Chain A
């Protein structure tokens, strides 16, 4: 039993490392995760930075401090999408079939991909923390806050990766997963990723109040701009767990269907 677990853990680690290397080596997978959210962060900070002067804007040190959490979440959602595209490409090329024929847990193959996505999430968090520090953001909760941000962002990455993997397993086509790219932005715009809900226009403001993504964003944002509030952090963790379990359950169902029908 333990031997089997160790063997599966090795498979997950190896496939996770492969997933990270694959993303780093393919610019079309890596660029959307880093370049696009960073560029958008810079442009939105410069373009809408004066929003902090609006009377009802929450007290923050700068608009960049407010926007960092949104950029991180945007990036991990794109990481989940990119992970799904990479998995779909593996399916299209027959690599996944070879793995399924090997004497290893089939779900371990999916978990390996998700482990890689989670590792990318941690790197994404560190990237944006570095950008924040370079451009003068003072993290209110210090080092402990930064470490907690890395945990939340990495876990969010795994959660969104589960949904990307499920769609890849169900469709088996990279183009289908790639087509979800605009949907990422729909969900982002309907959350508090880029602006406080009280200053958004209706109906987006009302949707943002209940969008699970808003809870995740606020959980990540809090250690940057304010002090920890346990209730906010629990809401963030619950939202990540909810999305993660939903994605993993969908992946499991799609994997079983793929194994049963062969594609």
Chain B
């Protein structure tokens, strides 16, 4: 048990070292959600004038979506980094170590979860500076917790694709897949104001519950009734993608 914890800690430390040693590689992942946030609020900010829009501030409405985007990018980056490690042969060395494969996965996923706090915090500072509502301490805790869990979902998704394709060329699939999952929700407008197919998709997309859970504090009060569906959706998504990632790990042979 202690050895497993040490392995996870070492993998997390390695992921954090990448940020301090190659900051240039981390900058796009940190900046992209903020750029999207600022751009989308500038472009679609007046959607709040539509009858039935349940927030006066589009900045407040959009912050949690951009936090989820940041988590999705961070998780996808974990998949891309793993594909790079597979291509370079470094992952073979990890596999030949006595560390159990679920422990290796835990290290990758936990590092993504912690790294997702960086774009989320940067975004939050910018968002509050340009007029987003302060979500309150409870709202903030819920938003951060949901962001970290979303990063776990994205990291297991990215990891399972990296283990399947074993090449960095699969990066667009990792990024676009997660981005679609986040954007086909109530990302741009409340459910009743979405049109056509998107309304139907958003209604059944589990990430809609995730976005709504993270959004609560920014547009109103935090309630357990609006929180648990998001947590349940995250747990379900994480379970499904973890299954595929673990299966990929088990099928991986040392070259």
Q: Give chain A's interface residues, CB within 8 Å of chain B.
A: 26-28, 31-32, 35-36, 39-40, 42-51, 53-54, 63, 179, 181-182, 185-186, 188-190, 194-195, 199-201, 204-205
Contact = CB atoms under 8 A, between A and B. Distances in A.
Interface of B: 24, 28, 31-32, 35-36, 38-47, 49-50, 169, 171-173, 176, 179-180, 183-184, 187-189, 193-199, 201
Given A39-B176, A43-B183, A182-B32, A204 B43 contact: yes
Contacts of A188: 39
Given A39-B180, A46-B199, A189 B47 contact: no
Looking at chain B's contact residues, the main secondary structure is: helix
B36 A185 contact: yes
B80 to A, nearest CB: 11
Given A28-B169, A195-B43, A44 B176 contact: no
A36 B171 CA distance: 13
A29 to B, nearest CB: 10
A48 B39 contact: no
A186 B38 CA distance: 9
Contacts of B36: 185
A202 B154 CA distance: 34
Contacts of A186: 35, 39
Given A50-B195, A54-B50, A185-B36, A43 B184 contact: yes
B46 A46 contact: no
A27 B39 CA distance: 27
Contact of B28 (A31, A36, A43, A182): A182
B39 A44 contact: no
A165 B121 CA distance: 35
Given A46-B199, A200-B43, A53 B35 contact: no
B172 A47 contact: no
A187 B198 CA distance: 26
A47 B45 contact: no
A46 B198 contact: yes
Contact of A35 (B38, B176, B189, B193): B176
B158 to A, nearest CB: 15
A134 to B, nearest CB: 13
Nearest to A194: B43
Given A46-B196, A50-B50, A54-B49, A28 B172 contact: yes
